[in-house]
Amino acid sequence: MALLESSFEHGVMTVTLNDVERRNALSRALIEELIDLIDLIDARGDVRVAVLTNRGSVFCAGANLSEFSTKGSATNNRTIELSQLLMRFRESPKPWVGRIDGHCMGGGVGLAAVMDISIASTASKFAFSEVRLGVAPAVISVVVLPKLRVADAQMRMLRGDRFSAAQAADMGLINLALEASDLDAVLQEIVHDLISGAPEALAVTKQLMMRVPAMGTDDAFAWTAEISAERFASDEAREGMAAFFEKRPARWVGRTPQAGD
């Protein structure tokens, strides 16, 4: 059985974690398939939005522990591969939405956090379980810590206990905790809004969110002034403003999925 499933409709590529037997754990094979699929999605101009979701009761159980040795290069390779996967999600010019309908443990929390927008069913549980296995949430901390208050990070990462999707949303780890029956309707609303944005503008906005917080104030203002000028002079801006004044959808919008589709 394939570790991943993918489907494409109305500009949306849906990627489904499908290694149910191993609770969608991040094995080397699964990571490689995800990276290859991200590359494919990034290269396709018809893909406007990508959604990551799951089969089974676990969104992602974290690292596939059976592939880790106590020492040597194998363990180092696994952690490097995870860091490469998270970086590929961060660097993707496409907006990624997490549709989480299952538990997130360890590295699975990193997957939830690295999405641009994440929604989760209220039945989903989260945990930074690494400390209870004698390891640390090291690689995922790069994408998790920017989203959390220090106090929340300290309590959850040090305790290693389970917490609810509602608590995950309250601390900013995900965006929304919803009843499972509401996930798809809210997902369609989010996707509709994302497709209403211009593709290049969305990609640039992702870069702003990733780079500006790490820059000094002077450098940030200088760089963002250049970006702003480039965007106002772009073909997308001309089309977007024309559509606004003519009270019509911009050409990039196309047909988007509606409730009931």
Tell me the angle at which helices 217-232 and 199-211 cross, rounded to the nearest 10 degrees.
Answer: 180
Q: Burial level of 201, CB count in 10 A (0-12/13-18/19+)?
A: middle
Residues of the chain with CATH 3.90.226.10: 4-191
pLDDT at 257: 42
- Block residue for tokens 């050409």: 251
Q: Where are the alpha helices (DSSP H) in 130-234?
A: 138-144, 150-159, 165-170, 183-196, 199-211, 217-232
Q: Give the residue ranges of the chain where pLDDT is below 70.
A: 1, 69-76, 255-261
According to the CATH classification, is domain 198-245 in 2.60.40? no
Contact indicator for 3, 64 with CB cutoff of 8 Å: no
pLDDT at 228: 98
According to the CATH classification, is domain 4-191 in 3.90.226.10? yes
Contact indicator for 211, 218 with CB cutoff of 8 Å: no
pLDDT at 245: 97
Residues of the chain with CATH 1.10.12: 198-245
pLDDT at 71: 56
pTM: 0.93
Distance CA 193, CA 247 (A): 17
